[in-house]
Each structure stands twice: as structure tokens, then as C-alpha cells.
Chains A and B, each alone.
Chain A
Amino acid sequence: MTIRAYFLPFLLFSIALFAACSGPPERGDSYVITMKDNFFEPAELRIPVGASVTFVNAGEAPHNAVASNGSWSTESAFGSLIMLAGDETTLTFDEPGVSPYYCTFHGTAQGAGMYATLIVGDETVVEEVEPVAAPERAGESVTRHVPADYPTIQSAVDAAAPGDLVLIEPGVYREQVNVSTPNLVIRGTDRNAVIIDSEFQRDHGIFIAGADGVAVENLTVQSARINGLFWTNVTGYRASYVTAIDASVYGIYAFDSTDGLFEYSYASGSRDSGFYIGQCDPCNAVIDHVISEYNALGYSGTNASRQIFLLNSIWRNNGVGIVPNTLDSELLPPVKEVTIMGNAVYNNGRMDVPMRAGEWPINGNGIALMGNKRSLVERNRITNHWNNGIYVAPMLDDNFYSSDENIIRNNVVEGSGRADLALGGPAGPGNCFQGNDAATSMPPGLSTLLSCNGPRLPLRLELTAFTDMAGRAVQGAQGWNPQIPIGSVPKPPPQPQMPGGAEAPVRPAVNVFADYPLDMDAITVPDLPDGVTVTQTKTPTLFGLLVGGYWINTLFGLYGGLALMSLFALWLALALWDLSTDTARRSRGSVLGWTGAILFVPLLGLIAYYVAGKSRLPVWARLFLLIVPLLVYIAVVLGTLLGSGAI
């Protein structure tokens, strides 16, 4: 056997471990902003308070950087406003805040030309979105009455011009409405009595493909074979006072679309998620004052990044409450900078709701950030979840995505079975937990040891949450997860009507985000509604595993988590014992040298010692110790995952 043959698994393991330890820069690292002809790179940079940034002129022309509000300038450090090609200077930023800046030669303080943004600390940034010109149309907005003027919604939509109102009287409409005309408003006169029923035979209730600016208001869509309301590839969309029931996939859904709003809407019984925004960056989207219940997921947001705000909503009785996530099956991974604020998230973790196999691995969590970068979870109330209240976790799809630099602060988390706050490993750097009213965490001490303002210790390798997901992925692939038929969850009571009803102003979904009054400072932690109390109690854990969990999850936890950790400890202990008791044969230099190599070169130092360190352990024992357990652990976990079709 050559050395190379048994080196391979260790290299893989080492690489995995190093990958888990690398990532975006942290406190104490140096940051560089490059000035080119004529722009700054990166256009937006986020740094910790107290960090230094080096500005480098990598262009041909002279440049500088001056804060739009005049609070700092490269002149103060460099001594001149003129930095020539190759010049560089370093500034330190001690005040938190959002600081737009520009080059006085090639840009303006107002944001034209060579202009960029520096964010110091954990500030939330809402970027202004440039409004677009109001759509032109010939003549007045025409109201198309259904069924008085048009027998079907589709015939009214087909006849409508941009800016028209399609106004629907009460009735059950057994049709799929396809919209290709932009800037329509499709409105019911009675939210609870205007029903588009897909009867599980038609794909979508309303399908808006490529038609910008379509708003849907005050009606109900139900029993879609795919989605209740579905926008794709549009700029400008809005759902207001819409009820979406029993969709086979998503209730209210916007894909590959920007500039949108879901407000005062309700979704239940979806086999995937009630509300879904997917594949956009920046999304420029808001979800405000919605209710999502009895879905597999309350909210799912695959690769829906930046300028996306989930506010003041109720997510209850779902399998999981809120799940911004990264998947390779959609473009623009990974998911970044989602803001979740002022939500009441309670009593999720239901197993009697329809779900696809893919949702089972995260069942039981309130808010789950799966492979998120720089998301913010703040001022939410999260109550009664059998697994974790707030769960920051990696995502394994075709690629592995750790969660990095997420901020979890000032939430109230109570009644969690495993832990109120959980950081699942391998996690990336910079995640922090500050000011939460939370009693438990996994690993313990997150609020103390990974606080946003204090030290952040690298508690990033709590593997049992990940092995638990892997175990349930196997169950899902085998169909062992709960199989609940669509349409079996409780029907919602009548939902509130849109103010103004049929007479409300006709507002196509144009400049939705730019016109939306985002006031996040006013948001407070919501109360639990009457009748909801904290009922979930803490479940004991051992090795981080829920006591009494599914056997396959326990198996994965033992082989994929505990055994790997203790194997490393074992290698370390045997090597150090061997070295420190081998005084008869070894010089002090040899002992110190090898001890240093083992301690300072993670994993590789140990392996080098066992390979070339003249250990007293017989070769056959070393070979067995290094190779067999690792191969078996990997085989047990990977083989089960592959064999079951889970990956």
C-alpha cells in the first residue's frame, strides 16, 4: 500500500474541515477597496466596527474616496485628494453606520458615477430603488366586469389593456387565468366569495408570466395542481387581501421577479410553502401582515436575496415557519441578506400537514436560515417548536453552503424542544446572537460566546443538527415522513375584506418597493394571540442528539458526529501519550517538534506523525486506527444517504 492510498480520505476530511473554517473575512482582517477607472470595487462592502480599509488606486486616472456626508475622506490619511495610479492609503472606521462615498473627480455625492457604499457594523441598509416612469396608456382605465361583461375571468383579461381593472363578482370560477398583459389589476368584489377553483385539475389559479405590474386583490384561489398565484419573470407584482388554499406546491409565489409585495394575504394547506419568493437579487420585495398556516413551510425563499423583508406576519401551525434557503436547483445561490422582523412564529413543527419529502428534514423549527449569508432575524416572537426556535444551519445540495455572518438579535424565543437558539455546523464565520430573550441554546452558551458585540468564539462544528437533517432526508426519500393528503387541513374562517372593496383606487403594481412605506424602527416584538401559551417543554439531549429521536437520526448522530469528534480526540491522545512517554528513544527536540507539528498543523500534523513520526504503535495498528473507522463512518452515513436516494 502506498502512502497516497491511505492519505486520500484524510485529505478529504481535512479539506472539509478547513472549508468549514474558511469563509468571509472577520473582525481583525484587513479590507481592500480598489479604485478603478471609474468605479469602486466592491460596490458595497460590509466591515466590523473598528476595522481598517485600504483604498488602492488600481486604475490609470487619479482617484479619491470621500463620504457623501463629508464625515471621512482619503485626503485625511493620504495627505492629498489626488491618489495616482498605485497609490494606497488606509482608514479606520470606528463609528457604525451606512456610509455612501464617491470619487470627487468621477462621481457625485448624490450617487452618480463613481460611487459606492461602505457599511460599518450590523446596520440594515434599505437601498433606494429608482422609480420607473408611470406606464403610458391611451384613455382612462376601463373596468371589465366579470361575469356581467365577460363570462370568464380569462376573457376579461384577454380583452383588457394595460391599466384596466378586471372586477369579479362572487362565484366559483373553474378556470386557469393566464395573464400576459402588463399593469392589470385583477380584483374580487368579495374576498371570501370570489373563488378561482382549480379542482386539482388545472396548474395555477392565476398565472402571470412576463407581464409586469399585475396586482391581484381581494379574492380566493384554491386547489391548484401547482400554485395558487404565480408570477414569473416580471418587474412589479402585488397580492393584497388574497386567500390561497390547498395549493399542491406554493400558495402565493413570485419567481425570477423583482419589485413586489404580498400583504394582508393568507395561505394554508400548501404542500410546499404558503408564500414563496424565489431566485431574485436584489428582490426589492416585502411580505407584510400576512398569515401562513398548515403549510409544509410558512415561507420559503430559495436564493431570494437582498432587499427582501418579511415583516409583521403570522407563521403558525406549519411544518416550519420561515425558511430562507439556498438550493442549486435555482439560479443565484446562495441566499443573502434577508430581513425577518416583527413576526409571530408559533406552533410550527406540525406533522399533520401536507409536505413533500424535501421539507421533512427541517420540520419542527420556527425560523430556519439554511445556507444564509448576512441575514437579519430581529424582534420576532418564536414560540412552541419541538426542534429549534431559531436554527442557523448549513445547506447541502450539489454544493455545500454554510451559513455566515447572520445576525440574530432581540428576539423572544420560548418553548423549544431542542434549543431556543441553535447554530448547526459546519457553520461559517460571523454568525452572532445578541439580546435575545431565550433560555436554551445548542451548543450551549451561544449568546455569551457568539455575541454580536463581544467576542465570537468559533463554535462552528456542532454536527448533530446536520446529521439530524441527514437522517430525516433518508426518511423522506423512503417515504417514511408523514403522508398527509392535500385538502385535509382546516379551512380558514372568512378573511377580512380589502378596504374600499370594489371602489378602491386602481393601482397596478408599478414602483411597488419604491412607494412602500418601510418603517422598521417602529416594529416591536409581537405578543402571542389570546389562547396561545407556551406548551412545548425542553427535551433532553445527549451528545447534542434529542433523546428518543428516530433511530436513524441517532445512528447518523453517532457515526457522523460523535464518532468523528472522538476519533480526532483519540488520534490526538494516542500520539501525545506516545511522544511524551518515549523518552528513552527520543530527543527532547523530537518530542517538542512533533508535539508542535501535531498541535499547530490541524489534522495534517497528526497524520504526518502517524506516517513518518516513528510512533511506537505497530504499523498495523496505526493503519487500522487511521483508515478503517473513518471509512466506516463515511460509509455508514454516505452509503445510507445514497442508498436511500436522499442525495
Chain B
Amino acid sequence: MQTFLSLYLYILPIALYATWVGIGLWEIVTRPDMGRGAALGWMAVILLIPVLGILAYYIAGKSAIPAWQRVTLVGGGVLAYVVLYAVGSLAGGVV
């Protein structure tokens, strides 16, 4: 169980991050309201600045994804990580 939890907590941030970027980029290249220049600019920001780039897009990129969904997408993952880490630590340490 401990091994499983640790492995999950190791992989979760990597997978979540890839998911955030994937969803953000799909939106950028398919949304009709964004010109090619702006799209390229946001792609550059997202792909070239690890972690912070995609967060910047969700905050300031005028994404069509409703705000509550963006908060869930990012905050939910972070919350899950924190809670599971705390639970794991209480239950004998995350290995």
C-alpha cells in the first residue's frame, strides 16, 4: 500500500502537468477567437516555461474553459496531492 501510494504520488504531478498542458494546448490550437500570432505566443509560453507557463495561460489566457473548471483542474490535482501526501505521512511515511 505504501509502495503504491508512493508510486502514485511520484507519477501524479508528472501526469497532471502533462494533462494541464495537453488540455490547454488543444484549446489554443482549436479556438476560433485566437489569431495565429497569439496562439504561437501562448504555445511558446506554455511549452518553454515548465509548470508556470501553463498556469499563466489558465489565469491570463482568456480560456473558454469556465473558471470553476480551471480551478478544479489545477487546484483539484494539487489538493489531491497534498491530502494524499499528508495521509501517507501520517500512515507511516511516504516512501
Contacts and interface: CB of A to CB of B under 8 A. Distances in A.
Interface of A: 439-445, 447-448, 538, 542-544, 558-559, 562-563, 565-567, 569-570, 573-574, 577, 617-618, 620-621, 624-625, 628-629, 632
A574 B17 contact: no
Interface centre among B4, B21, B50 (most CB of A within 10 A): B50
B29 interface: yes
Chain B interface size, as a band, is: 20 to 34
A415 to B, nearest CB: 13
Contacts of A629: 47-48
Interface of B: 3-4, 6-7, 9-10, 13-15, 17-19, 21-22, 25-26, 29, 36, 39-40, 43-44, 47-48, 50-51, 93, 95
B25 A620 contact: no
A246 B47 CA distance: 49
Nearest to A419: B95
Given A439-B93, A558-B51, A628-B47, 14 more contacts: A440-B6, A442-B10, A443-B7, A443-B10, A445-B6, A445-B7, A543-B17, A544-B10, A559-B50, A563-B50, A565-B18, A566-B18, A569-B22, A621-B43
11 contacts: A440-B95, A445-B3, A445-B4, A543-B17, A559-B50, A566-B21, A569-B15, A574-B26, A577-B22, A577-B26, A624-B43
Contacts of A573: 18-19, 22, 26
A-B pairs, 4 with minimum CB distance: A569-B18, A444-B6, A566-B18, A573-B22
B13 A542 contact: yes
A573 B21 CA distance: 10
Contacts of A569: 15, 18-19, 22
Contacts of B17: 543, 562, 566
Contacts, number: 80
A567 B50 CA distance: 11
A282 B3 CA distance: 39
Contacts of B3: 444-445, 447-448
Nearest to B10: A444
A444 B19 contact: no
A570 B50 contact: no
A577 B43 CA distance: 18
A413 to B, nearest CB: 12
A620 B36 contact: yes
Nearest to B8: A444
A559 B4 CA distance: 27
A573 B4 CA distance: 25
A544 B9 CA distance: 10
A441 B17 CA distance: 22
Nearest to B4: A445
B14 A574 contact: no
A60 to B, nearest CB: 56
Contacts of B4: 445
B83 to A, nearest CB: 15
A74 B39 CA distance: 69
A543 B14 contact: yes
Contacts of B51: 558, 562
Nearest to B6: A444
A542 B13 CA distance: 8
A567 B47 contact: yes
Contact of A618 (B26, B29, B50): B29
Nearest to A565: B14
A104 to B, nearest CB: 51
B74 to A, nearest CB: 15
Contact of A570 (B13, B25, B44, B95): B25
Contacts of B6: 440, 444-445
A557 to B, nearest CB: 9
A440 B21 CA distance: 30
Contacts of A538: 93
Contact of B44 (A441, A442, A628): A628
A630 to B, nearest CB: 9
B21 to A, nearest CB: 5
B86 to A, nearest CB: 12
Interface centre among B19, B29, B48 (most CB of A within 10 A): B29
Contact of A566 (B14, B29, B39): B14
B69 to A, nearest CB: 17
B25 A562 contact: no
Nearest to A555: B50
A563 to B, nearest CB: 5
Contact of A617 (B9, B14, B29): B29
Contacts of A618: 29
Given A441-B95, A617-B29, A562 B47 contact: no
B82 to A, nearest CB: 12
Nearest to A462: B10
A183 B43 CA distance: 71
